[in-house]
Structure 1
Amino acid sequence: MASKYDGLARIIIQNVGGKSNVISLTHCITRLRFKLKDESKANTEILKNTDGIVTVMKSGGQYQVVIGNHVPDVYEVVCKIGGFGEEPQEADGEKPQKRQKLFSALIDTISGVFQPILGVFCATGLIKGILAILTFTGVLTAESGTYQLLYAVADGFFYYLPVILGYTASKKFGLNPFTGIALGCALVYPKVVALTSKDVMEVLFAGTMFESNIYATFMKIPVIMPKSGYPSSVVPIILAVYVASKIEKFWKRVIPDVIKNFLVPTLTLMVAAPLTFVVVGPLANSIAAVIGYLTQAAYNASPVLEGAIVGAFWQVLVIFGLHWGLVPVYIMNLKTQGFDSFMQPYFAASFAQTAVVAAVMLKTKDKNLKSLCIPATISGIFGVTEPAIYGISLPKKKPFIISCVAASIGGAIIGAGNVKKYMSGALGIFGFPTFINPANNDTSSIPWVTAGVVVASLIAFAACFIIYRDEETKKVSEVLPARKPGKFNLVSPVKGNTVALDQVEDTAFASGILGTGIAVMPEEGIVYAPADGTITALFPTGHAIGMVTEDGAEIVIHVGLDTVNLNGKGFTPLTEAGSQVKKGQELLKFDMDLIQAAGYSILTPVVISNPNTFSDIIPTDADHVNPGETLITVI
């Protein structure tokens, strides 16, 4: 059954340069996010003026078509009509024309991996915040069944994050998504996590910053893991999927087609899984160890300096999972001293992050962005900032940078006060009681930590509120004038006998999924412009033309059925995409005899692909038409 978004989907695919111009397609809460080979092929002006599209933006190497809250429905139809599958669309020998800068590419990768789960990310964070309120006020206890079941949903999502990211990262890197899920499952498999609770087999680099415990070996190669294992981690699975995507492509090239279905994933997992545990994981651990050592050295030199560093980079470390380099020192201090001062400057970071998102929420005029900021702000107040980071501040860059600077200032204040934390656990606003000494009710740390949080929040909010601007696109001249009430005619682009569209031996055209119109059996091999307008697409094979008329009709003229298989043979384009044409102007010549001799029909459907934007579309009832005679009347 045709969807109400079929016409819109066709326009989008046509005006991003066609399927062949699309490397990959994902969507977030409000936008279709294309990676295009050549953005110059996209008809941005036409897309902006299309009903159903809010606007078009280009950011972080992505071509973003803003749809609104119903974007998942549009995405599904675009994928169906465009034939976009699990893997990025990539023509042989073709590469994206523009290489992204490292920082933009990094953000694009992280954002692309997290975008599909942002809605649920916000939801689980919000549930955690609600549970924190209910336990703080005594409505629930952490031991109650109600709390445990709800917490299982909220915390379970974070715990099994590597499994979820295994899927989304696979979509990003073009790996079989179930192979990515399998790698994520391996990272959080209970027996693997339990290895860290067993006796240490050996200690490597004892007494150095790289001191590591070996809990198992793989073919006599040490397996080094963080003490908490890989649950809730981010970077290891993303790196693992990236490596696996390269391995999979190799196996696809060398393994015969008849056994690819089961042998490619088998060999990919057998190589990628061990690499994940013996290379990717230890690499992340080593980087974390260096960070921990340097931070400890900074703290010994000056708590204020260390506070500024931790505050500034805490969110960055969390994104890459490198904060685990600081956690061991924190835990050791709690056990040996009964408190920790080393890591506490991080406390200002979550409030600074929440403050910039609150500023964006108040400043933006984008209703869809505002609706995303609300739950992210609420969950951030309770210490769960991942939705804010991955969904809002990081993709927009400036808010994220502002939050880091503000957190650095707040962290320096906390460091200056030698703030002490006496217990682990609560986050966000419920974390303040953890700075009270339970032995003697000493609250001397509270004023300092409060000052750090307040200063960081105020600076972050004020700076972001002043600096933030909604993304703007260049103002361009209107391609389409305002429609006037009444009707207009489209003349026949070819000479020949008419055929009702539902009689065309092509399901896509006959079902109306590609638009409303009529077909003509040509008597001469020339295609003329059916109206004044702009050529929006001229397929490289020459077999199909897309144009938008001055009255706003999106027209597709498809010469023959399945003639794309001729790869341009027999077709001679006389215009190009982007050209302004006049009614009756010759657009294309085609060799009818050659096409028919090759076994293809020359029946030519002419359809309007945005029929829902008009009151009615009436094909001619004439049995024969000449170029210049009315073929379709549009009301």
Structure 2
Amino acid sequence: MAYEPAQEIVDAVGGPDNIASLTHCATRLRFQLKDGDKADKNTAEKIPGVLGAVPQSGDRFQVVIGGGVQNVYNEIMALPVMAGVGTGGGAAASGGGGAGESDADIKARERAKGPRGTNAWLDTLFEFLSDSFRPILGALLGASLFITFMALAATLGWIPAWNSPGVELPPSWAFVNLMWKCVFIFLPLMVAYNASQKIGADPWVGFAIMAVVMLPGFTDLGKTQDAVQTTFLGSDITTVQVFGMPLTIFDYSSQVFPPLLMAAVLGLVYKGLRKIIPENIQLIFVPFLAMLIMIPLTAFLIGPIGVYAGAALANLLSSINNFSPFIFAIVIPLAYPFMVPLGLHWPINAIMLLNIQTLGYDFIQGPMGAWNFACFGATAGVLVLAWREKDKQMRQTATGALAAGLLGGISEPSLYGIHLRYKRIYPRMLVGCLTGGLIIGIGSLILGLPNGITTQAFVFTSLLTIPAFNPIGLYAIAVLGAFVVAMVLVMISGYKNPADAEPALAGATTATEDARIAGGAADEAASVSNVAGGEELLPGAGAGAAGAAGGAAAGAAAGSATALATKGEGEATDVGALIQVASPLDGTAVGLDTVPDPVFAGGVMGPGVAVEPTGDTVYAPGAGTVVAAQPTGHAFGLQLDNGVEVLIHVGIDTVNLKGEGFDVKVKNGDRVETGTPLVTFDRAVIEKAGYPLITPVIVLNGDAFDTVDPVKLGPVSHGEPLLNIQKKA
């Protein structure tokens, strides 16, 4: 994606002056705006590469990008107009129905089912929690794989029980053990930094405040002669008198609730100090006074409250699990499919970490694995069907989502890219969740496991982390059962909604919509709906290709499907007949793989050929109807009488010229014959702008035919045969 779409996104949210901060997650740009009413959802969704837009309460606005969100974020932040805009959330600045829904429609629909999105304070709370953890998920994932390796080594007998009290590991293995401990021991500092930044305070001040209670000298205070051992709420605690007040000594390693509470209060303190301290001396005195207030407050009050509050929540869930591990094992995997779209799963992550800190193990991640693998199984079912149907776009989408799931334990690409778009998937996935939960619940009863499946580390539930769960055998059977059941049910029933299963041109619409999700084709197909309505495509790499593709599909679905259904008589449309499409240009025919655009070169939009033009006019390659004639003149979609849907894309990225150098001769709905001029172009204008003139000629509905092959490569004149297309026998 070039700078133009980055600028378009900034403009769509109200311009740089309306952006208070920008963050991103794995798939979404997350804007904190000064005035949320200035953001235009419809405009944002028309930008090439944007999968959807989600207005939120509290002047927040999300733009769904997909896997390339980091690149888009970097391009936005590199814009000169973005100088001085904060990255208010932590990750370098971040971020599901039927197939026709945008990601924004999906998210809005799912969000409407829960409390988020309707209560600003609740939305703020969950955004605060999620943005406090999201930037460190990579470090947590890396640490979880080290933990899994240690667990596997202990299972194979290479090392003793590495996490048992008093166990001493050989120096080499002790060093490996430090590779994951570094993340979890200092987790409070990472959370304090992210949470402070999210709340609008200096993140390094928040880091420093939390660091005080993690110093070895702080814990050493509990070893002095003045230290007193007492019992509070059934727990043994150590206190020491400091300035005549009791200071509770805790080991804050791996704690997450104390830094969250500290940051929340720090944000209020910062806001108050900025109001009363003159601006010209704020740099000096705001951090100093904030630390002067917050360090004692955290050590004496906020820290202990955070420890006890977290312990209370953890004990509540532990009590439920202890009361009936069977019920718990079923409820968790069935609840997660609804919690994740609402963003309600973030607080559970904090409780998992706290369980490990206080109990030495966690009992939530095991049942959660049943949900994750049911999710991945449903994606695998879609992938199998996409291979059968030769659906390249969905195949690409499902492959990426499945890889992210099985190797990384990340469910969002599957959830938002596929499952919430197709209503038939979710019920079948829930059966997989139930299957995995039942296996865990029944297995725990048979094996006499009082806490069900447990893990002694915070890990992402993927194939790579299976050895971290105990017992491994039961967990592996449960996640396999969840995966297989969901996959088989999706394969048996199909995943497309009835409206998506319509043949011919309705299928083309689905294909172009799926192309929006596929990473390699995202820039191409984001403007499909624009073309169908006759709107001008927005700038973007190859955006015209997708626009014409969508126009061919949508326009034909609206008006040409009936006409196609009546075709079939005559030599050109007999089953098995050879159809020829003429060249629309004078020039040299070359293979698609020579086109300097990966979407065309990779055949994402369909099979065809390209022409290096020697003339300056594009002609109709056959008799038919113009269903997409862009005012910019760079792309045309035609529905030919012989059933072939053709996209002619004049040059690469020429949409950026916004019509300069193009003289369009036709409009949407015009009837054309072979050789009818479509557009003339000024070669000098295009070449001066630096855009390649090579023109792809694409058969959008190539899957409807047995073969689509060039007649020959080399010199060709307009009107001469360019493509041989064999009808299916």
TM-score category of the 2 structures, normalised to the smaller one: 0.5 to 0.7
The whole-number CA distance in structure 1 between the counterparts of 2:312 and 2:401 is 36
SS at 1:358 equivalent? helix
Counterpart code for 2:306: A
How far has the Cα of 1:480 moved from its partner? 1.1
Question: 2:449 is matched with which residue?
Answer: 419
The whole-number CA distance in structure 2 between the counterparts of 1:201 and 1:478 is 78
Contact 2:435/2:478 (CA < 8 Å) preserved in 1? no
| 1:256 aligns to 2:278 (yes or no) | yes
Contact 1:407/1:456 (CA < 8 Å) preserved in 2? yes
SS at 1:70 equivalent? helix
Contact 2:313/2:351 (CA < 8 Å) preserved in 1? no
Counterpart code for 1:21: N
Counterpart code for 2:128: T
Give the alignment's TM-score, normalised by structure 1.
0.55
Question: 1:171 is matched with which residue?
Answer: 197
Contact 2:199/2:263 (CA < 8 Å) preserved in 1? yes
How far has the Cα of 1:136 moved from its partner? 5.1
How far has the Cα of 1:23 moved from its partner? 3.2
SS at 1:10 equivalent? helix
| 1:480 aligns to 2:506 (yes or no) | no
Counterpart code for 1:77: A
Contact 1:54/1:66 (CA < 8 Å) preserved in 2? yes
Point out the more displaced range, 173-182 or 309-318.
309-318
Question: 2:238 is matched with which residue?
Answer: 214
Question: 1:64 is matched with which residue?
Answer: 63
| 1:115 aligns to 2:137 (yes or no) | no
Aligned length: 453
Contact 1:236/1:284 (CA < 8 Å) preserved in 2? yes
Aligned residue among 314, 319, 323 for 2:349: 319
Cα distance change, pair 430–29 in 1 and its aligned pair in 2 (3 A): closer
- Mark the runs of 5 or more structure 2 residues left unpaired by the alignment: 90-116, 163-168, 337-344, 384-393, 421-425, 460-464, 498-513, 518-525, 538-542, 546-629, 635-652, 662-683, 690-729
The whole-number CA distance in structure 2 between the counterparts of 1:58 and 1:191 is 47
Counterpart code for 1:269: M
Question: 2:265 is matched with which residue?
Answer: 243
Question: 1:23 is matched with which residue?
Answer: 20
Contact 1:248/1:268 (CA < 8 Å) preserved in 2? yes
Point out the more displaced range, 63-72 or 402-411.
402-411
The whole-number CA distance in structure 1 between the counterparts of 2:374 and 2:449 is 24
Aligned residues: CA RMSD: 5.3
Question: 1:494 is matched with which residue?
Answer: none
Contact 2:435/2:485 (CA < 8 Å) preserved in 1? yes
* CA distances 1:335-377 after superposition (whole Å, capped 9, x unpaired): xxxxxxxx78546235225415534764595968975764564
| 1:278 aligns to 2:334 (yes or no) | no
SS at 1:64 equivalent? strand
Contact 2:10/2:76 (CA < 8 Å) preserved in 1? no
* CA distances 1:270-305 after superposition (whole Å, capped 9, x unpaired): 222333333333333333444466567657765645
Contact 1:128/1:379 (CA < 8 Å) preserved in 2? no
Question: 2:33 is matched with which residue?
Answer: 36
Question: 1:590 is matched with which residue?
Answer: none
Question: 2:467 is matched with which residue?
Answer: 430
Contact 2:16/2:81 (CA < 8 Å) preserved in 1? no
Give runs of aligned pairs for residues 403-414 of structure 1, distance below 5 A: 409=438, 412-413=441-442
SS at 1:58 equivalent? strand
Give runs of aligned pairs for residues 280-359 of structure 1, distance below 5 A: 280-291=302-313, 294=316, 304=326, 318-321=348-351, 324=354, 330=359, 345-346=363-364, 348-356=366-374, 358-359=376-377
Cα distance change, pair 451–129 in 1 and its aligned pair in 2 (3 A): closer
How far has the Cα of 1:18 moved from its partner? 1.0
Cα distance change, pair 310–72 in 1 and its aligned pair in 2 (3 A): closer
Contact 2:365/2:454 (CA < 8 Å) preserved in 1? no
Question: 1:155 is matched with which residue?
Answer: 181
| 1:182 aligns to 2:208 (yes or no) | yes
How far has the Cα of 1:265 moved from its partner? 0.5
SS at 1:188 equivalent? coil
Question: 1:572 is matched with which residue?
Answer: none
- Mark the runs of 5 or more structure 1 residues left unpaired by the alignment: 89-97, 332-342, 381-387, 436-445, 485-548, 554-609, 619-631
Cα distance change, pair 59–197 in 1 and its aligned pair in 2 (3 A): farther
How far has the Cα of 1:213 moved from its partner? 1.4
SS at 1:213 equivalent? strand
The whole-number CA distance in structure 1 between the counterparts of 2:397 and 2:259 is 30
How far has the Cα of 1:26 moved from its partner? 0.7
The whole-number CA distance in structure 2 between the counterparts of 1:77 and 1:178 is 24
SS at 1:203 equivalent? strand
* CA distances 1:466-503 after superposition (whole Å, capped 9, x unpaired): 9999999995645315869xxxxxxxxxxxxxxxxxxx
Cα distance change, pair 613–127 in 1 and its aligned pair in 2 (3 A): farther
Contact 1:348/1:453 (CA < 8 Å) preserved in 2? no
